[in-house]
């Protein structure tokens, strides 16, 4: 360790001597038309030397105030400022200067005729600058009521899942920005749904760098797939939003016995308002409903007992499991209320602040049935469960960025949350001999009921300081994070257990206990990163990270005392005290080479050392002090090639170490389910994952086509897998007797796990029907080993499928989308005794249509056809889900709306899932608590104070505002804003 630190120090001292002069160029860009800042204007350093353009820092974008900073180390420099629909600005920088302020740069509108602008807009929807693709919103037709999310769905290669997750060219979008600012950082989906599509000028897609890489110019290879939504002129000083209310018919459902139950009338009420005043933006959203629309992503309650995460190969610290202290009714029917507040402000050029507050209350209930066949154990199980839960959560987040000088930047982030989960759940579990469901000799059963409550408090903060040290690219980043958490929970359990007995026929036993849990923990982490340019094209980085986490957990269980008629008998299975801590050290070196836009190379090497200490006590038993040490060397490499504009090839290779979790290591029994007991294995070793990924993308914006293909291979060493067996007799484990025929599980290390897959998609316009088509295919193979009753069990899974999406671009009056997802799943489970083969062929066809019959009258419809054919008995599924609505607009600018909506018209909604686990278990799940057919009547009002605002009219006339919009599009692009380069 000392030698490694000595080598790092020596390297830093040596490369520091290579300093050379640099010139810092700043300025502000405004529009001559209205004098407002131009957001997202592209500022290019030495644009005539195209071989250098893709180097970090060569192409930047103006921020929300129209300002930019670019640094050059060449003797002679020039600056080009470009923007869609405006003339380029060009100037030369005199040699010998170290700081140049270009002042205010005024961009002139392009001289282009109206007809030419319309032709260009139809033929070219986007432009490419470096890694950024910027789409012109005016080139995509959406209904007047569409949101930014609806507009995004029409972009080539973009898919939006039902939960709001966004994917672009096969990559998940992890950050959404509006005019260069993060908006609802904890839930970016809210940014898309709160912003109307007619307020969007353009949308840019790019692979953003990490915060440290953007500041230092040292490309660390990390990429964050990001979109930036640029709004139209006038939106930055406006108030807009909507409010709605709806009331519907009663909701009914049939339980497993076919009994009809009434849950009462459906309702939905809510709204949102955005108040934007230049550099200060406020957004408020909220609502209440009982139609499963939760609005915000509800984080898991019980996070107080969790530890730190992140870091390649870092040991996971999930603290103490709180699963038995929570009631989960998700997947059922939920009545929820939510409130969200977001503020984003720029006070000066040096200080930016973002504040977000979310509240959610959710009351849910669920009714489910599960059946499974266990190949190895030659048994089948049936379980039925019901749950009623109450979740209440408050969360507050703030983010401050302060740049006191041009060479210093400070980031301070805080997060505070409180969560409460309480509820009631009940379950019945039964096991029988044989692989055939619901047949065979009785083995055992348990009838359980739980009443739970868990409160959690979390406090997190981070402070980072970044300093530029004179030479372009030479930077130092120092910072740290801290967190504290607390959890308090209670669980009351009553279980009646039956077991088959050769002597008495059936043995009976009862569990009647209460358990109290108190946890607390804290985490402290610190790191520094030093970046140094070696040559004009090469840079090196050194880093060190220290992380310390400590968790305390005190769990006390008491059994019922029939004589005293109270809970006062200590339950040894659930009473324990745990005190554990983790310390991890990570140090590494990274090398980056970028010459021209054609080649970027990254190499990295990390050394990680982790220590865990654990002490535990149980009644009459003290676990000896346990200490675990892990270490790993983790190399990584990335090669990125850009043969020409619009094309890219990327190769990633890395080796990650994964350390066992606390649950997997700790020699403690988990007896939440007395018929299925588990325990950790302190002799586990760390596992390794070797990963190779290749990605190729080509975009042709002349004909608006895009092709993307990706292939990956992952090979795992010493995988931590389940070791499960059925006890053939009563067995004492850790001082507790586990009954015969119970399932006992632990963990072990096995080799042989690996998988590979490929994904390809092609998007193109279909001019004949004025629509866009995206066609994709995918395949994945996975091999997963496990141990079952001492036998090696291997599951081989082959999954192939496709995704075909057709989106309309006909007009604002006709908007439709058709999606088709076929898939084929072939699985083979092999062990020394049996081989099981299953096949599942599924089809999912979805469609949505929004059509304006007149200026005021419209119809909506969406539907899905689901077809599943399987080798498993009684698992085929065929059903249709159809929803439809009719409504009309009224008031000025059609701001008011009345609509009648019918859901699940054919009353075929259902939830059935068939799955095959890697251990050979075949499972079947039914959800009886689902929304089915109902009708809702709703009213909605939209408002927008934009000056001269004219919603995109369904009329054919050319309004002055519409004409100015087209004129501003210039050579096929959007208006102000949109490009977020790096």
- pLDDT 10s digits, 675-687: 788 888 888 888 8
Distance CA 126, CA 138 (A): 11
Residue 240: strand, helix, or coil = strand
pLDDT of residue 114: 30
Q: What is the mean pLDDT of the chain?
A: 78
**Cross-sheet strand order for the sheet of 224-231:** 126-129, 132-136, 200-208, 224-231, 175-178, 181-182
Q: Give the tokens for residue 397.
A: 């987040």
Write out the DSSP string of 711-753. Answer: EEEEEEESEEEEEEEE-SS-EEETTEEEPTT-EEEEEEEE---
Q: Which residue reads 């038995």 in tokens?
A: 324
Q: What would the pLDDT profile of 266-303 be if each residue is shown by its tens digit?
A: 999 999 898 988 888 888 989 999 888 765 433 333 33
Looking at the structure, do residues 198 and 90 belong to the same domain, yes or no? yes
Which residues on neighbouring strands pair with residue 480, listed in sequence order?
A: 463, 526
Please check whether residues 965 and 931 belong to one and the same domain: no
The single residue listed with the structure tokens 């970046």 is: 531
Q: Is residue 51 part of a domain?
A: yes
Same domain assignment for residues 162 and 205: yes
Is residue 837 located within the same domain as residue 965?
A: no
Helix (H, G, I), strand (E, B) or coil at 14: helix
Q: Give the per-residue pLDDT at 108.
A: 82
Confidence of residue 839 (pLDDT cuts 50, 70, 90): confident
Query: Residue 872 — pLDDT band, cuts 50, 70, 90?
Result: low
Measured between alpha carbons, how far is 147 from 137 in angstroms, rounded to an integer?
A: 12
Least confident of 334-338, 949-953, 957-961: 957-961
**One domain for residues 822 and 965:** no
Q: What percent of the chain has pLDDT over 90?
A: 24
DSSP 434: S
Q: Tell whether 473 is covered by a domain.
A: no
Number of domains in the chain: 2
Domain annotation covers residue 274: no
**Percentage above 70 pLDDT, the chain:** 78
If you count DSSP H runs as helices and E runs as strands, how many of each does the chain have, helices first? 7, 51
Give the residue among 335, 378, 374, 341 at the shortest CA–CA distance from 358.
341
pLDDT tens figures, 161-184: 666 677 776 667 777 777 777 766
Mean pLDDT, rounded, for 60-64: 74
pLDDT digits (tens, 9 = 90+) for 730-782: 888 877 778 778 888 899 999 989 999 998 989 888 888 888 888 999 999 99
Q: Which residues lie closer than 8 Å to 518 by C-beta, 6 or more apart? A: 487, 488, 553, 554, 555
User: Are residue 855 and residue 964 in the same domain, yes or no?
Assistant: no
Q: Are residues 922 and 964 in the same domain?
A: no
- What CATH number is associated with residue 28? 2.60.40.10
Beta strands in 534-660 (DSSP E): 538-561, 566-570, 576-595, 599-618, 621-641, 647-658
**Residues 508, 496 contacting (CB under 8 angstroms):** yes
Among 19, 101, 99, 13, smallest CA distance to 407 is for 99
pLDDT band at residue 799 under the 50/70/90 scheme: very high
User: Strand 687-700 and strand 705-717: pairing?
Assistant: antiparallel
- The per-residue pLDDT for 823 is 93
Question: Residue 16 is encoded by which pair of tokens?
Answer: 């520091």
Judge whether 945 lies within some domain: no
- Listed in sequence order, the DSSP H helices in 105-257 are 114-123, 148-153, 189-194, 211-216
Does residue 51 or residue 489 have the better pLDDT? 489
In angstroms, the first-to-last Cα distance of the chain is 36
Q: Is the same domain home to 215 and 121?
A: yes
- What is the pLDDT, as a whole number, of residue 11? 44
SS3 966: helix
* Residue 629 structure tokens: 């040490």
Task: Tell me, yes or no, whether 909 and 964 share the same domain.
Answer: no
Determine, yes or no, domain membership for 829.
yes
Q: What angle do CA 471, 474, 479 make, to 5 degrees?
A: 140
Comparing C-alpha atoms, which of 926, 863, 979, 793 is closest to residue 374?
793
Mean pLDDT of 688-706: 84
DSSP letter at 324 equals G
My answer on whether 857 and 964 are in the same domain is no
Tell me which residue of 139, 104, 114, 124 sits closest to 29, measured CA to CA.
Answer: 104
> With bands split at pLDDT 50, 70 and 90, how would you rate the model's confidence at 560?
very high
Does a structural domain hold residue 697? Answer: no
914 has pLDDT over 90 = no
Look at phi and psi of residue 572 and say left if phi exceeds 0, alpha if psi is from -120 to 50, else beta. alpha
pLDDT value for 294: 63
pLDDT at 1 > cutoff 50? no
Please tell me whether residues 867 and 964 are part of one structural domain. no
Q: What is the pLDDT, as a whole number, of residue 973?
A: 32
pLDDT, position 956: 35
Handedness of CA 145, 285, 229, 965 (dihedral sign): positive
Q: Cα separations (Å) of 855 from 661, 896, 961?
A: 60, 13, 19
Q: What is the pLDDT of residue 935?
A: 93
Q: Is residue 423 situated within a structural domain?
A: no
The pLDDT confidence band at residue 14, using thresholds 50, 70 and 90, is very low
Note down the domain range covering 173: 18-235+960-969
Segment 588-597 mean pLDDT: 82
- Does residue 788 lie in a domain region? yes
* pLDDT number for residue 180: 73
Confidence of residue 216 (pLDDT cuts 50, 70, 90): low
State residue 11 phi and psi, 5-degree precision: -65, -45
What pLDDT, on a 0 to 100 scale, did the predictor assign at position 405?
85
- What phi and psi values does residue 137 have, to the nearest 5 degrees? -60, -30
Say yes or no to pLDDT of 532 above 80.
Answer: yes
Do 905 and 778 share a structural domain?
yes
pLDDT of residue 238: 85
């Amino acid at each position: 360790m000392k030698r490694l630190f000595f080598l790092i120090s020596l390297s830093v001292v040596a490369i520091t001597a290579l300093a050379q002069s640099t010139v810092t160029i700043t300025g502000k860009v405004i529009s001559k038309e209205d004098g407002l800042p131009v957001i997202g204007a592209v500022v290019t350093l030495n644009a005539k030397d195209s071989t250098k353009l893709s180097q970090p820092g060569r192409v930047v974008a103006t921020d929300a105030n129209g300002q930019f900073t670019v640094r050059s180390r060449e003797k002679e420099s020039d600056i080009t400022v470009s923007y869609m629909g405006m003339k380029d600005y060009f100037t030369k920088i005199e040699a010998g200067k170290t700081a140049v302020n270009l002042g205010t740069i005024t961009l002139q509108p392009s001289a282009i005729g109206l007809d030419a602008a319309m032709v260009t807009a139809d033929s070219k929807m986007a432009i490419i600058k470096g890694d950024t693709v910027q789409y012109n919103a005016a080139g995509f037709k959406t209904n007047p009521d569409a949101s930014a999310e609806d507009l995004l769905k029409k972009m080539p290669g973009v898919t939006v899942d039902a939960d709001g997750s966004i994917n672009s060219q096969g990559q998940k979008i992890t950050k959404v920005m509006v005019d260069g600012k993060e908006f609802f950082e904890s839930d970016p989906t809210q940014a898309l749904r709160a912003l109307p599509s007619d307020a969007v000028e353009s949308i840019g897609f790019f692979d953003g760098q990490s915060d440290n890489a953007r500041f230092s110019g040292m490309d660390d290879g990390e990429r964050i797939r990001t979109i930036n939504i640029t709004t139209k002129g006038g939106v930055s000083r406006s108030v807009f939003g909507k409010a709605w209310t709806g009331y519907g018919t009663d909701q009914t459902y049939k339980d497993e016995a076919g009994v009809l139950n009434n849950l009462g009338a459906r309702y939905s009420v809510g709204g949102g308002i955005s108040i934007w005043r230049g550099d200060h933006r406020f957004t408020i959203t909220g609502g209440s409903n009982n139609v499963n629309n939760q609005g915000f992503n509800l984080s898991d309650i019980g996070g107080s007992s969790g530890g730190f995460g992140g870091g390649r190969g870092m040991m996971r610290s999930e603290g103490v499991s709180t699963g038995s202290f929570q009631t989960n009714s998700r997947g059922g029917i939920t009545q929820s209320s939510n409130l969200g507040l977001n503020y984003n402000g720029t006070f000066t050029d040096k200080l930016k602040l973002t504040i977000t507050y979310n509240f959610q209350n959710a009351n849910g209930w669920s009714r489910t049935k599960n059946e499974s066949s266990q190949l190895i154990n030659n048994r089948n199980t049936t379980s039925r469960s019901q749950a009623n839960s109450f979740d209440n959560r408050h969360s507050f987040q703030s983010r401050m960025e302060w740049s006191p000088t041009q060479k210093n930047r400070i980031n301070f982030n805080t997060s505070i949350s409180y969560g409460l989960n309480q509820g009631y759940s009940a379950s019945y579990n039964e096991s029988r001999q044989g692989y055939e469901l619901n047949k065979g000799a009785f083995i055992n059963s348990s009838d359980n009921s739980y009443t739970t409550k868990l409160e959690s408090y979390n406090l997190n903060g981070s402070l980072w300081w970044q300093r530029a040290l004179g030479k372009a690219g030479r930077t130092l980043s120092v910072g740290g994070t801290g967190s504290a958490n607390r959890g308090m929970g209670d669980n009351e359990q009553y279980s009646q257990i039956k077991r088959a007995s050769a002597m008495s026929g059936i043995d009976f036993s009862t569990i009647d206990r209460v358990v109290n849990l108190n946890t607390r923990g804290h985490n402290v982490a610190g790191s520094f990163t030093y970046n140094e340019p070696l040559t004009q094209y090469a840079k090196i980085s050194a880093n060190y990270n220290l992380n310390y986490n400590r968790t305390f957990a005190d769990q006390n269980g008491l059994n019922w005392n029939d004589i005293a008629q109270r809970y006062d008998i200590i339950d040894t299975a659930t009473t324990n005290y745990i005190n554990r801590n983790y310390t991890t050290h990570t140090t590494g070196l990274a090398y980056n080479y970028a010459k021209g836009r054609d080649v970027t190379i990254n190499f990295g090497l990390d050394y990680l050392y982790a220590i865990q200490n654990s002490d535990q006590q149980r009644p009459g038993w003290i676990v000896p002090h346990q200490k675990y040490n892990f270490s790993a060397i983790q190399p990584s490499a990335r090669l990125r090639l850009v043969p020409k504009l619009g094309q890219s090839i990327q190769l990633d290779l890395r080796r990650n170490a994964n350390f066992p979790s606390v649950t997997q290591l700790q020699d403690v029994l988990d007896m939440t389910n007395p018929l299925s007991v588990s325990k950790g294995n302190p002799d586990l070793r760390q596992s390794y994952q070797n990963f190779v990924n290749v990605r190729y993308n080509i975009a042709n914006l002349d004909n608006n086509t895009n092709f993307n293909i990706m292939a990956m291979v992952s090979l795992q060493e010493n995988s931590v897998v389940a070791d499960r067996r059925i006890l053939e007799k009563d067995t004492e484990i850790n001082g507790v007797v586990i009954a015969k025929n119970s399932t006992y599980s632990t963990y072990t290390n096995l080799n042989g796990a690996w998988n590979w897959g490929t994904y390809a998609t092609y998007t193109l316009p279909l001019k004949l029907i004025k629509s866009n088509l995206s066609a994709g295919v995918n395949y994945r193979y996975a091999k997963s080993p496990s141990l079952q009753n001492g036998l090696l069990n291997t599951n081989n899974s082959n999954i192939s499928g496709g995704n075909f999406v057709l989106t309309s671009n006909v007009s604002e009056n006709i908007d439709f989308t058709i999606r088709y997802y076929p898939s084929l799943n072939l699985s083979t489970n092999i062990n020394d005794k049996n081989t099981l083969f299953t096949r599942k062929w599924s089809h999912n066809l979805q469609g949505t249509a929004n059509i304006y019959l007149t200026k005021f009258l419209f119809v909506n419809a969406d539907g899905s056809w689901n077809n599943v054919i399987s080798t498993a008995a009684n698992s085929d599924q065929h059903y249709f889900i159809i929803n439809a609505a009719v409504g009309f607009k009224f008031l000025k600018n059609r701001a008011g709306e009345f609509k009648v909506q019918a859901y699940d018209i054919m009353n075929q909604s259902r939830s059935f899932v068939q799955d095959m686990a890697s251990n050979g278990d075949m499972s079947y799940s039914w959800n009886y608590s689902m929304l089915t057919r109902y009708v809702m009547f709703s009213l909605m009002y939209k408002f927008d104070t934009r000056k001269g605002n004219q919603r995109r009219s369904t009329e054919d006339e050319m309004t002055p505002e519409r004409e100015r919009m087209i004129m501003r599009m210039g050579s096929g692009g959007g208006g102000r804003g949109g490009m977020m380069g790096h």
